[in-house]
Structure 1
Amino acid sequence: MPDTTALRPGSPAKRAAIIRAALEVFVREGYARASVDAIAEAAGVSKRTIYDYYGGKEPLFLSAVRETAAAQATAFGDLLDRTLGEVTDVEEALTEFARAFATEVARSAERAAVVRLMIAEASHFPDLIHTAPQDRPVQRTLADRLAELGEQGLLEVPDPLEAAEFLGLLVTGPVNARSWYGTVRLDQEEIDRLATAGARVFLRAYAR
């Protein structure tokens, strides 16, 4: 592993371009076949710039996956604010959340690409998937929101992290299975049906 203490912070615009290009090349070629030369060409920067900013292919790969996941976590927080921000009818709100989240999972080509990439490279980068629930930002954010609903008396949530994991699986699992992780396009009616069913099962377990 290169010495990251000597890396340059660099231009934010160039870093963003490198991350976008890296994700595109890693998804298309896989980690082993992807080259820094190809990423540099796609980003419109020199190979030296990539080494100056990231140190090499492995840290660039990890940065591309993690930065993309962080951006998705931020977007997920916005989705939570829209759907579970001010809740009076918990069934209606959770169904709205489930449909919105399932649609995002089914429609986001970037999200699907990152998931497939992580699955493909899991044996080489196990830390990308072997993370504790509290270290997964999306699950932790959802757990915090479910805990708030529990405090409001709308849900019975003895273990918010566990509840968040179950809700996420119920909402996204069927969509991922039917779409082969974004490979097959689902129509909106099917997405809504699967998500609504997931929310209904969750409420049977956690509603007061």
Structure 2
Amino acid sequence: MKESLRSGSPAKRAAIVRAALEVFVRDGYARASVDAIATAAGVSKRTIYDYYGDKERLFLRAIRETRQAQTAAFEDLLDRTLGRVDDIEAALTAFGREFAVAISRSTDRAAVLRLTIAEAAHFPALLEPDEPSVQGLLADRLAGLAADGLLDVADPTEAAEFLGLLVTGRANNHSWYGSVPLADAEIARLADGGVRLFLRAYRRA
């Protein structure tokens, strides 16, 4: 018989997810306890079991729910910066700067990355692609910009991968994936360079 779990309060779920990420990063999956997560979240241990069932499901769902929230935020970023585009360089620059800031300063994103690297061997499900994926959403947007005559994109998926790397890669390296703070001006400089390089390859002549 399939166990029925409560959807529960969105505020409590968010608190549990934040606490779970913090405790799992700090202690590792094996040493992390549901008691510690409940204390950090300000909820009862029973609430965590009612919402998530057990520690393994809590671990996987906390990462999945965090990724889903990040994807929703990314979609909003695309709508703000690449929704209606007249000046392709200005639009991509706005996108690149904001995305680079989000990548280099998001503690949740850094936590998910560290947990995935540390625990993927024990939890292969962590490596399963999200649907929709950030790269897929960006690929669709670049394909639309190409259809509007603003870019020359033969392979939107490849172009999205390149753009993502170009606008976030150096910010990640310079900040040690969020461990070292970067000034706004430095993030802008790194992202702008990536956009210029991307446009050399993909701007429609």
* Superposition TM-score, scaled by structure 1 size: 0.90
| SS state at 1:143 partner | helix
Over 3 Å counting, the alpha-carbon distance change for 1:180 and 1:92 in structure 2 is: same
Q: Matched residues in 1 for 2:52 and 2:102: separation?
A: 30
User: Is 1:64–2:62 an aligned residue pair?
Assistant: yes
In structure 1, what is the Cα distance between the partners aligned to 2:2 and 2:14? 18
Structure 2 unaligned residues grouped into runs of 5+: none
1:206 corresponds to which residue? 202
Instruction: In structure 2, give the amino acid aligned to 1:185.
Output: P
Q: For residue 118 of structure 1, what is the aligned residue in structure 2?
A: 116
Distance 2:122 2:164 in 1: 26
Distance in 2 of aligned mates of 1:136 and 1:124 = 24
Contact kept, 8 Å, 1:4 with 1:54, in 2: the verdict is no
2:133 counterpart of 1:137:
yes
Identify the range of structure 1 (99-108 vs 6-15) with the bigger mean alpha-carbon deviation: 6-15
From 28, 31, 34, the counterpart of 1:33: 31
2:165 to 169, 178, 183: 169
2:17 is aligned with 1:19? yes
2:176 pairs, out of 175, 180, 187, with: 180
Cα distance, 1:112 vs structure 2 = 1.9
Q: Is the 8 A contact 1:18 1:39 kept in 2?
A: yes
Give the AA of the match of 2:95. F
Identity among equivalent positions (%) equals 68
Cα distance in 1 for residues equivalent to 2:163 and 2:132:
14
Across the aligned residues of Structure 1 and Structure 2, the Cα RMSD in angstroms comes to 1.8
> 1:102-140, CA deviations, whole angstroms, 9 ceiling, x for partnerless residues?
111112222222222222222222332353xx8452111
Amino acid at match of 1:166: F
Give CA deviations for 1:174-196 in whole Å, capped at 9, x if unaligned.
11111111011112222111111
Distance 2:124 2:197 in 1: 31
Which sections of structure 1, spanning at least 5 residues, go unmatched? Answer: none
Runs of 4+ in 1 over 6 A off after TM superposition: none
One-letter code aligned to 1:5: E
Change in 2 beyond 3 A, CA 1:13/1:89: closer
- Aligned pairs, number: 204
Q: CA separation of 1:10/1:82 partners in 2, compared to 1, >3 Å: closer, same or farther?
A: closer
Q: Distance in 2 between matches of 1:72 and 1:147?
A: 22
C-alpha spacing 1:4/1:98, structure 2 compared with 1 (3 Å): farther
> Which whole-Å CA distance do the structure 2 matches of 1:46 and 1:207 have between them?
55
